[in-house]
Copies of this chain bind each other. A is one copy, B any other.
């Protein structure tokens, strides 16, 4: 190499600049998808219901309020009831019934289904998704970040991935077209949020737990809470990104506010002083620490004059955790009130999540959209936002772009049917938690339980808490929704459990 000082080329007169060198600046918007883990619909001071609730009073999320004042809140945004199915749908545009990553993933070739005496669960895609053929128990896909990258976006992953099992290609965000990966791996939680505990990594030579998070080594032994460490690293990546001459896609996927509900000391004392129990103060602090991260990213955009051309989407991957007193105070299943139940449930508490979109010039500020949508819709919507023309993908895409909603146009999306499919059994118990398929159409929602054959019908518009099963009152509607649900599931080749006693497949919802 030559240590001599070099003249900047701009000082040298042109000698015939080639077409290759012509600057064609890419003015497509930057996109930040701010994805929170296990955040319930009420885990915020921003009211997503028609009324302010006691939980809205309890939590402080000033930056979500700031974001909402600049954009559009979605009051009926849906995810799946657990993490991997939601995240896979986001990456692929497929409904969970089709991609078959219907429960959460972790170890290779191993199911995370709770054992049932009655049902034998199908061989779902326990290894998640991947972009290459021939990997057992995976669905081969073309991912959202890959398409964005191919179209010229600089793609950054920060935080939780949770699309593929350990030692499979899908465990690593780089395999899906992310050019930067900060702390993403197979794990769907964090062993510890504490820098003092090295985020769960052991340094005594013994094996670290599977949920010990990689890539934050520089913060080990410091007091940096994981939420903050991820934010600092994301901002470093953005500082690099702004020089590259490309639009960027930042998938900011916090490990917060998933368990363990560790104490974010930046905010914990405030909630203790406000009278909350230790557990609930820790939860509130975990939320506010996440909210600060959102604010820090918004500040960065403003400081760098990139706020005008950057979309921010706020989202959660499933409802709030509500099934154990290990982390939250009793009563259980009320932590997402007025919604019933929480994470893992087919009820609204498990699947309805907070969502906000801010996009100057396109999305009118300080607005609410009551149309419903579901997480696989993100896939075509983000491709629309990014003006991606080349969309050849390996998988069928079920999602529908909600760009019209963002533009404030009238849609008839609330007449469409949304589907959930969970031929599995989650770890904890509670209302609406079971081996279920579910359809929402208009005001109505049908939940079908494979183990018992039971069907529940709720009018979500009138009875958001799903307290009154109207199935016996409305047999024709039950039949009609059952038929639609059954036809859909067969059409996408959904999997079904088997009755252990008979060895026979459980009936589809329209076969009983």
Taking Cβ atoms with an 8 Å cutoff, the residues of A that contact B are 1-4, 6-10, 12-18, 20-21, 23-26, 100, 104, 106-115, 120-123, 125-126, 132-140, 152, 154, 167-169, 172, 174-175, 178-180, 188-189, 211, 217-218, 240, 243-246, 259, 426-428, 493, 495-496, 498, 505
Contact = CB atoms under 8 A, between A and B. Distances in A.
B246 A110 contact: no
A139 B21 CA distance: 8
Which of A2, A104, A107 has the most chain B CB atoms closer than 10 A to its own CB? A2
Contact of A174 (B18, B25, B179, B188): B179
Contacts of A25: 134
Contacts of A152: 132-134
B169 A245 contact: yes
Given A106-B1, A122-B16, A154 B133 contact: no
A379 B261 CA distance: 51
Nearest to A10: B109
Nearest to A496: B15
Given A15-B123, A174-B179, A179-B174, A2 B133 contact: no
B179 A112 contact: no
Count the copies.
Answer: 2
Nearest to A211: B1
Interface centre among A12, A121, A188, A211, by most chain B C-beta atoms within 10 angstroms, is A12
Given A2-B427, A136-B23, A427-B1, A167 B243 contact: yes
A113 B428 CA distance: 67
Which of A121, A133, A505 counts the most B-chain CB atoms under 10 A from its CB? A133
Nearest to A217: B217
A175 B167 contact: no
Nearest to A503: B13
A180 B152 CA distance: 20
A17 B123 contact: yes
Contact of A114 (B4, B24, B493): B4
Contacts of A121: 12
A505 B114 CA distance: 76
Given A123-B9, A169-B244, A217-B217, A137 B189 contact: no
A296 B461 CA distance: 66
Contacts of A123: 9, 12, 14-17, 21
B24 A133 contact: yes
B9 A245 contact: no
B426 A2 contact: yes
